[in-house]
Structure 1
Amino acid sequence: MTYDAMRHFADSWGLLGMTILFLAFVAWPFRKGARRRNEEAANMIFKEDEHG
């Protein structure tokens, strides 16, 4: 694969793929079943350490 072919792929399909991946990462915390897990992660630093 030549440099020009890789550049063409990155400019077209690579950009589309990275955009879809970015949107999936942004939407993942807002899915329906994630509220409890996100709240636990947010409050984890306030819990007492039981192991000393």
Structure 2
Amino acid sequence: MTYNFMREFADSWGLLAMALFFIGSVAFALRPGSRRQAGEAAQIPLKED
């Protein structure tokens, strides 16, 4: 009984949660100003201090 309940829960709400997390991650990566911050972070290993 527990296995079936967990499987049904994962099939429905788990998939929905993963889809919302993916959409949120993409939206966060494409927000205004993220390109500049990503470029700055990419240059950190190349800086000579």
Compute the TM-score of the two structures, normalised by the length of structure 1.
0.74
Q: Which residue of 2 aligns with 1:35?
A: 35
Rounded to whole Å, the distance in 1 between the matches of 2:19 and 2:29 is: 17
CA RMSD of aligned residues (A): 1.6
Compute the TM-score of the two structures, normalised by the length of structure 2.
0.77
- For the pair shown, the structure with the greater C-alpha radius of gyration is 1
Q: Whose RCO is larger (CA < 8 A, sep 6+)?
A: 1
Structure 1 portions without partners, runs of 5+: none
Structure 2 portions without partners, runs of 5+: none
**Residue 6 of structure 2 is aligned to residue 6 of structure 1:** yes
